[in-house]
Structure 1
Amino acid sequence: MSSPQILRLSKLSLITSLVLSGHAFAQETNTKDDSLEKIAVYGQHHKNYITEDAQSATKLGLTIKETPQSISVVSRALMDDFSLDDINSVLESTPGVTVEQIETDRTYFKARGFEITNFQVNGLGIPQSSGSIQGTLDTSIYDRVEIVRGANGLMTGAGNPSATVNMVLKKPTYITQAHASLSYGSWDNKRLELDVSTPINENHAVRAVFTKQKSESYLDRYETDKTIGYLAYEGKLTDDTTLSINYVNQQKDADSPLWGALPLYYTDGTATDYDVSTSTAADWSYWDNSAEQVYVTLEQNLSATWVATARYAHIENEQDSELFYVFGTPDSETGLGLTGYASRYDYEDKHDLFDLYASGKFDLFGQEHDLSFGVSQAKMDYNEQSLFDYTTGNGFPPMPSLDSWDGVIPEATLVDALSGSDIKNKQQSAYVSTRIKLGEPLSVLAGVRYTDWETSGSAYGVEQTRDDSEVIPYFGAVYDFTESFSAYASYTETFVPQKELDINNEQLAPITGKSSEIGVKAQLLDDQVFVTFAYFDAKQEGLAVEIANTAPNSRYYAADGINSDGFEIELSGKITDDLSASISFSNLSIEGDDEVENYTPENQLKLAATYQVPFVEGLTFGANYRWQDSTTRDQYDENAEPRVYVTTTNQDAYGILDLMANYKITKNVGVTFNVNNTTDEKYLHSLYWAQGYYGAPRNYALSVNWQL
């Protein structure tokens, strides 16, 4: 028997033993006295890391325990405790997610071996052609972040079988609340947060959030300036009609950002080892990102158990940049051999998203069941332009050694060789899902989504026309051994349209992503702790692969892509009256792409915990630890034909430890002290590209917090 087969059997054996032992545990707890009333409090002011509800996987009003898929929720409490101020730091703390920070202002995210391309706000979003996030998304406006791992075809249709990230905006409250935080940290990092919510009357409420952050950096020359404004309204127009409106404006201006990163090896094949602060950015370069978003939701109660919901979103993103890239391989003695590359890059996109659905309950065969159905439409148009300097001699200058370079380089005149993209995407869908209770312990979920996807336009001279439609199935089952312990299984698909043509000049069918999962979920310790275990298998089918000797009019055939399997374990909640924690371990095995397999960590451990010191009132300590095992990347001379192997870049296993202490001076005022990368670990952010740069060294922040 081959080793992969042995590995899969060992994982299945582990799952079986956990299910059986969990069932035994559940039966044992059933023998205890159930007469005591169970009370669990959930909300942003409860210092706990457990959240019961998440609507990113279905629209059936199910709890996480009732949903047959892996769902993690990063709560407001966790974000506040460890200053998880952007989506990068949130996803770094999420089970099974890898944050591929390739540059200062562009990041990719991966789960289960695939790029995450589905990002939503309040459940609305369109899959991206690429999963990169430009700039950073600040989290001060979000109540929580929900991450559904695996294919999410029922809710999104198109995308990879990786994960869906849903950022849930803060809602107005019907009691007056106010929060202010002022912090100062390493590299002159200054941050101000203001959050005020108040009722207008008993049926209407508003909320406003303002965030301002200015900071220098451990990286030479890099500085950022962020401004976030958020307004929210919620009100009852009638007893049965609720309207909510949300407005978001985010602006991040970056001076001397990284475009590309550091070379990772010398001409003799040995590894480079620059100072952590080393940057390839010119002193004149910049990258400014802005986003403006409007969300409108109208809910109409149709009966005691049925609600119709209409949602609309308009989103605009803009980028304005002049960037400086460095490429080549330096000499190990002199550091010479690199070349600069300047470019101006402008980008803008517009999204219009609409979703109309009804959800509720119905009775059949003496049981109450759930049903949801609806239609959605998403349009996204984007335009990007690039300009270069081929005439002044400053567009591609020879570089000095990066060890001594101070970023000073003649500024390029970026007016040459205009190129870019002009793309229009349209996605229309109809969907239905239901949960049927076959008996008291067993529920079956089923759904189907029809999606039609159209793309037109060109990107840098390459036609992007795509026109595909797919029917996406969803099947799942949940078996409740007890009120607190259940097992589940699910299967769903997703798809990605392709523009490539086959040997007959026909457009290839979309890539199909298939995701299977089995697992167990349990609520323990009077429902204060939530535990999940999942085993998954995900695969791509129909990936375009170029047929040899068909250039320049290349033709393609459909082949299998990446196949991944593994398991994830997660525990979150209030373990004791004084201890809250979120702990996860994930294992991932990838086949079908050696490069992806090598730069993706096989094992990850993530732990965040806070402890309220019982003998010192108001004092809390916390730790946030993230560990991943070793990764590698084979490096090639891409200018050779065929390309020639040069060396292998290695990133040893490493762990990052952040510590926190919080002290409440009064009922309303507290101070928090954070130490990040406490052990001063030196590590590369990512081997996703052939270049890379180092993570931040040890740093500190002190904040003063006030809450009404």
Structure 2
Amino acid sequence: MNAVSRVAIAVSVALSAPAIAAPTAPELPQTAEAIERLQITGERQSGYLVNDQDSASKLPLSIKDTPQTVSVISAEKLKDFALNDINSAVEYSATVNVEQVETDRTYFSSRGFELTNIQTDGLGLNHDYGTTTGRVDAALYERIEIVHGANGVMTGVGSPAATVNLIRKKPTSASQASISTMLGSWQAKRVEADVSGALTDSWRARAVLVADDRESYLDRYATNSQVAYLVMDYAPTTSTLITFGYSEHRNDSDGNLWGALTLYYGDGTPTNFARETNISANWSYWNVTKKQSFIDLESQLSDRWKLRAAYQRTRTDEDSQLFYTYLPDPATGLDPQTGLGLVGYASEYDYDDKQDNFDLYLSGNFNAFGGDHEVVFGVSHARLDFIDSSLYDFTTGNGFPAMPRLEDWDGNTPLPSFTDGLAGSDINTEQQAFYSQARFSLGADTKLLVGGRWNEFTAEGIGYGVDRFRDEQKFIPYFGVTHALSDATTVYASYTETFKAQNLRDRNFELLPALTGESAEIGLKTALLGDKALLSMAYFDITQRNLAVSDGTVMNPNTNAPEVVYRAADGVSSSGFEIELSGELLAGLQGSIAATSFDVDGDALVENYTPENLFRSSLTYQFEQLAALKVGASFLWQDSTSRLQGLVGPSYANAGQPIITEQGAYGRLNLMASYQFSEQLMLTLNANNVFDKTYLNSLLWAQGYYGAPRNFSASLRYQF
């Protein structure tokens, strides 16, 4: 029995009986009063409209009063469209583009730039490589908040793309328990349990357990996930709430992609492989285990001042055996007649990291100059230590085998010895910050936000033969202003800067300089339909310097293996518009409709592989005469992209012509229907990509693979 299973059983036994028998919210004066005084916002939402946010500022600002665009993927949307993993969920947001370059490694982008700030309850270090690995389950989270643009006061670093903040599920005062089962295409099976309630008048608890097992439309690819989560809160007084918890997530993948399909033949014609084509070996796997513990203390010191201290500890363990394919002679490329020319490249890769985040801040309000003003002062400390290693096989012939045609590839290749060319990293990084933000009342309707964050970032260690020492400091200013035109409508403007030390290397295997930039935004937010819906419109303008752009593949002299390298592009800019409408749009009609349109300028490669127009809509309708039935549809659309892959080599008649991979504009329609048989029992049916659109997931890399064809799932949920 593995560790996750043992934790799952322990949590289930510990909570199932007392939680269901616990007293309800009215009998919990201590906890209820503490929650009311501390203004905990986690449970205040209705349908697809969420009024409060925890991600853009540590000041108590509603989404309408925040001088940046904020999108929220609510609990109801997650449930309606069976968004059971973070990649699927974030793809439904107004502005984020999910760059699925491999099966188990994902990049995100927004407003034309890489999104590297992914947090949990406001804590988490910027991702140096901008990736998430493994299948990250969404069952732990009540909702997902996305702050569009730079978020320097909250994060201090990162690109001006966006910040994704995963808001954990918290204990509830009312006793509740549910279990759901799901069956889907490609042998997908899922069981999820969620139990919550009060234990005493000052203790509450919640547990979530998940087992998810599924195969894939890709040959040989399958995943198995197990999740266990326990969170408790304790109100020692009516002014203090302590929340603490632990989660463990294990994701095991077999037959995973490392890299993806070669998209062109040597003469420049597209390969057009079948959607199920997979380059992996039959022994390929990538196992990721993440353990996270946290504690959060909030205390109302007086009627005006509140103190919060939060600590989060994350431990990640990744083990993998990977198989990649590449063209050793780009001038000849993949032979258009025989399909030969690829060489396999095997590696055993292990990664372990330890991440600790601590945040302490004091927030409150004061009267001065005839107005009431709000202010926050805080300090934070984050440390990330990681070790990784790569092993190869240069001696047996199994480490770099010649490939057959991919149409004939079944993954059958001998397991390499993985005893050669040991290389890796041992890196320690620290970030310390001091920050402050104030919201001044310039009048009854006008508020000025002024803030800043001083960051010190240090790193030491060796990574694949390169010294990773860095010692950089940066002050990040923030300015914003809001003006209420009426009770329903607010206009705003904001400006901030960005800074991110980079770990990527150039052709000389030297680190790229720090990524810096500025981001400005103006916009309007208005409540509609009696405050049941919110319309947001924004124009943004961004400039980035030293943006990392792929610069091909070269042989690493330390490992004797091919490696992707990067160049620093200067003066890459993005400007455009976003609009989003969310909430109850008509009686019974819940939904969100969002569109983004922008222009990337300054680097042709980035301009071409970035989708500059996005449309996202999710709508559900509950019939008045048949309230048990709900039907819905979502439509995800993006415009065309392309990538210059190089020039046709001299051995072909069309030598010198550019090789361009193109993905035309495409949209995917997804449908859902649910029926509430009783207060306890509900059935939900989902159909994804119902028109069976064939598309490449991403052109961020020179390689790529195809998205999932039409697929279905059915979920049965029982609420106790």
Q: What TM-score do you get using the length of structure 1 for normalisation?
A: 0.89
Which amino acid letter does the alignment assign opposite residue 138 of structure 1?
Answer: D
SS of alignment partner, residue 518 of structure 1: strand
Verify: 1:438 aligned to 2:455, yes or no. no
Match in the other structure for 2:49: 50
Match in the other structure for 1:342: 346
Q: How does 1:39-78 map to 2 (within 5 A)?
A: 48-78=47-77
Deviations 1:358-407 (A, max 9, x none): 11111112221111011000000011100000011100111111112211
Deviations 1:395-453 (A, max 9, x none): 01111111122111111111110001111110000011010011011000000111110
Verify: 1:209 aligned to 2:213, yes or no. no
Q: Compared with structure 1, are the counterparts of its residues 125 and 615 closer, same or farther at alpha carbon in structure 2 (3 Å cutoff)?
A: same
Q: CA deviation at 1:295?
A: 1.0
Q: How does 1:308-323 map to 2 (within 5 A)?
A: 308-323=307-322
Which amino acid letter does the alignment assign opposite residue 287 of structure 1?
Answer: W
Q: Compared with structure 1, are the counterparts of its residues 440 and 544 closer, same or farther at alpha carbon in structure 2 (3 Å cutoff)?
A: same
SS of alignment partner, residue 154 of structure 2: helix
Match in the other structure for 2:267: 268
Deviates more, 1:240-249 or 1:184-193: 240-249
Q: CA deviation at 1:496?
A: 1.4
Q: CA deviation at 1:577?
A: 2.5
Counterpart Cα distance in 2 of 1:252 and 1:518: 41
Verify: 1:647 aligned to 2:656, yes or no. no
Match in the other structure for 1:367: 371
Q: CA deviation at 1:613?
A: 2.1
Match in the other structure for 2:486: 482
Verify: 1:283 aligned to 2:293, yes or no. no
Counterpart Cα distance in 1 of 2:697 and 2:274: 14
Which amino acid letter does the alignment assign opposite residue 376 of structure 2?
Answer: S
Counterpart Cα distance in 2 of 1:614 and 1:450: 54
Q: CA deviation at 1:521?
A: 0.3
Match in the other structure for 2:706: 694
Which amino acid letter does the alignment assign opposite residue 533 of structure 1?
Answer: M
Q: Is the 8 A contact 2:107 2:132 kept in 1?
A: yes
Q: Is the 8 A contact 2:44 2:52 kept in 1?
A: no
SS of alignment partner, residue 407 of structure 2: coil
Verify: 1:306 aligned to 2:305, yes or no. yes
Deviations 1:512-552 (A, max 9, x none): 22100000001111111011001000111356999xxxx99
Match in the other structure for 2:609: 599
Counterpart Cα distance in 2 of 1:544 and 1:612: 47
Counterpart Cα distance in 1 of 2:132 and 2:512: 28
Q: Compared with structure 1, are the counterparts of its residues 338 and 215 closer, same or farther at alpha carbon in structure 2 (3 Å cutoff)?
A: same
Counterpart Cα distance in 1 of 2:599 and 2:164: 22
Q: Compared with structure 1, are the counterparts of its residues 618 and 499 closer, same or farther at alpha carbon in structure 2 (3 Å cutoff)?
A: closer
Verify: 1:422 aligned to 2:426, yes or no. yes
Verify: 1:535 aligned to 2:545, yes or no. no
Q: How does 1:404-419 map to 2 (within 5 A)?
A: 404-419=408-423
Q: Is the 8 A contact 1:635 1:645 kept in 2?
A: no
Q: Compared with structure 1, are the counterparts of its residues 168 and 458 closer, same or farther at alpha carbon in structure 2 (3 Å cutoff)?
A: same
Q: How does 1:80-119 map to 2 (within 5 A)?
A: 80-119=79-118
Q: Is the 8 A contact 1:468 1:510 kept in 2?
A: no
Deviates more, 1:269-278 or 1:558-567: 558-567
Q: Compared with structure 1, are the counterparts of its residues 492 and 175 closer, same or farther at alpha carbon in structure 2 (3 Å cutoff)?
A: same
Which amino acid letter does the alignment assign opposite residue 283 of structure 2?
Answer: W
* Runs of at least 5 residues in structure 2 that lack an aligned partner in the other structure: 1-40, 328-332, 551-555, 558-565
SS of alignment partner, residue 153 of structure 2: helix
Deviations 1:30-89 (A, max 9, x none): xxxxxxxxxxxx986976101011121110011111110111111111000001111111
Q: CA deviation at 1:462?
A: 0.9
Match in the other structure for 1:588: 598
Counterpart Cα distance in 2 of 1:343 and 1:677: 34
Q: Is the 8 A contact 1:44 1:75 kept in 2?
A: no
Q: CA deviation at 1:594?
A: 1.1
Counterpart Cα distance in 2 of 1:299 and 1:180: 31
Deviations 1:268-322 (A, max 9, x none): 2110111111100111110001100011011121101211011111101110000
Counterpart Cα distance in 1 of 2:404 and 2:574: 43
Which amino acid letter does the alignment assign opposite residue 582 of structure 1?
Answer: S
Match in the other structure for 1:491: 495
Match in the other structure for 1:521: 525
Verify: 1:667 aligned to 2:670, yes or no. no
**Which among 664, 676, 694 is matched to residue 688 of structure 2?**
676
Q: Is the 8 A contact 1:628 1:654 kept in 2?
A: yes
Q: CA deviation at 1:625?
A: 0.7
Match in the other structure for 2:253: 254
SS of alignment partner, residue 187 of structure 1: coil
Counterpart Cα distance in 1 of 2:542 and 2:377: 27
Counterpart Cα distance in 1 of 2:677 and 2:370: 56
Counterpart Cα distance in 2 of 1:347 and 1:286: 14
Verify: 1:449 aligned to 2:459, yes or no. no
Counterpart Cα distance in 2 of 1:187 and 1:174: 39
Match in the other structure for 1:636: 646
Which amino acid letter does the alignment assign opposite residue 515 of structure 2?
Answer: I
Q: CA deviation at 1:122?
A: 0.5
Verify: 1:354 aligned to 2:358, yes or no. yes
SS of alignment partner, residue 79 of structure 2: helix
Q: Once the two structures are aligned, what percentage of the paired residues are identical?
A: 47
Q: Is the 8 A contact 1:654 1:683 kept in 2?
A: yes
Counterpart Cα distance in 2 of 1:379 and 1:320: 22
Q: CA deviation at 1:239?
A: 2.4
Q: Compared with structure 1, are the counterparts of its residues 275 and 542 closer, same or farther at alpha carbon in structure 2 (3 Å cutoff)?
A: closer
Verify: 1:511 aligned to 2:510, yes or no. no
Which amino acid letter does the alignment assign opposite residue 678 of structure 1?
Answer: V
Q: Compared with structure 1, are the counterparts of its residues 509 and 222 closer, same or farther at alpha carbon in structure 2 (3 Å cutoff)?
A: closer
Counterpart Cα distance in 2 of 1:516 and 1:397: 51
Counterpart Cα distance in 2 of 1:177 and 1:349: 36
SS of alignment partner, residue 674 of structure 1: strand
SS of alignment partner, residue 483 of structure 1: coil
SS of alignment partner, residue 406 of structure 2: coil
Q: Is the 8 A contact 2:266 2:649 kept in 1?
A: no
SS of alignment partner, residue 138 of structure 2: coil
Cα RMSD (Å): 2.3
Which amino acid letter does the alignment assign opposite residue 583 of structure 1?
Answer: I
Q: CA deviation at 1:104?
A: 0.4
**Which among 697, 701, 710 is matched to residue 685 of structure 1?**
697
**Which among 657, 671, 684 is matched to residue 669 of structure 2?**
657
Counterpart Cα distance in 2 of 1:637 and 1:103: 25
Counterpart Cα distance in 1 of 2:376 and 2:167: 21
Match in the other structure for 2:218: 219
Q: Is the 8 A contact 2:129 2:503 kept in 1?
A: no
Counterpart Cα distance in 1 of 2:504 and 2:414: 41
